[in-house]
Structures are given as C-alpha cells and as structure tokens.
C-alpha cells in the first residue's frame, strides 16, 4: 500500500485512495501539449510504477487541444487499468466520447455525469 500522498500543481490535484488514483482538474484549465506532459509526469510520479484505476474529474477543463488529446491517448495512458471521466455537460460528454472512440484506446475509458456511477465502473474493473 502506498502512503497517502497528494500532488497538486496549477492544473490539477491528484491522490490515491483505496487503490484508485483521483485526478481533479482545476476550474477553467486550458490543456495544450505542455500542460498534458506536466499532468502525466506528476501522475506517473505519484503512481511509483504501479498500475491504477483512474478517476478523472474533467469538469474544470475549458479546452483541450488536439496535440494534448493525442499525447493523452498514447504516452498519457501508461500504467492505467481503466479510466472513469466525470463531466458536467452534454457537449463535453459528446466531445470526450468522440475522442475516446476515434483514439481507439487499449484500456476501458468511459464518461459519467455522476461520481457514484464512475466509481462503480472502476470497481467493476478491479
């Protein structure tokens, strides 16, 4: 078991709880390639080489450019078992689902409007 560690940068806050890595983006964040690289770097340092289920609260994201999406789809998906993404509106949900479908990820990724449903999805992938 990893000791309770939190990492926070100007883009997001991360912590591990009950073998789920929680990842919450700060409000109004615009993600380009450099931000995506920093976010993945911090997540990987928290994971210490271990694979985790990921709960990603993406409600704070204002924009996400193509280079960042492409980075998340490849290098950014390292050491992930499954990912539940929390969204807050139908447009973001549609955009993320289109991205998930077209990036053809090797792991299970799903979007949710409710935290409880997202956690249930993750618990089903233990």
**Phi/psi of residue 14, nearest 5 degrees:** -130, 145
CATH class of residue range 6-123: alpha beta
What are 22's strand-pairing partners?
15, 55
Query: What's the whole-model pTM score?
Result: 0.92
- Sequence ranges of the domains in the chain: 6-123
Q: Looking at residue 59, what is its pLDDT?
A: 96
Q: Looking at residue 109, what is its pLDDT?
A: 94
Per-residue pLDDT of the chain (126 residues; tens, 9 = 90+): 445 789 999 999 999 999 999 999 999 999 999 999 999 999 999 999 999 999 999 999 999 998 998 899 888 889 999 999 999 999 889 988 888 888 777 889 999 999 999 999 999 999
Q: Looking at residue 20, what is its pLDDT?
A: 96
Cβ within 8 Å of residue 108, ≥6 positions away: 82, 83, 125
Radius of gyration, CA atoms only, the chain: 13
């Amino acid at each position: 078991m990893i000791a309770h560690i939190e990492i926070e940068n100007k883009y997001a806050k991360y912590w591990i709880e009950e073998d789920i890595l929680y990842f919450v983006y700060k409000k109004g964040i615009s993600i380009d390639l450099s931000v995506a690289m920093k976010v993945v770097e911090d997540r990987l340092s928290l994971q210490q080489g271990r694979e985790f289920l990921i709960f990603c609260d993406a409600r704070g994201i204002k924009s996400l450019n193509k280079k960042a999406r492409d980075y998340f789809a490849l290098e950014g998906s390292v050491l992930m078992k499954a990912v539940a993404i929390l969204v807050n509106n139908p447009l973001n949900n549609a955009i993320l689902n289109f991205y998930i479908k077209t990036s053809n990820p090797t792991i299970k990724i799903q979007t949710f409007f409710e935290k409880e449903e997202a956690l249930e999805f993750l618990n089903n992938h233990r």
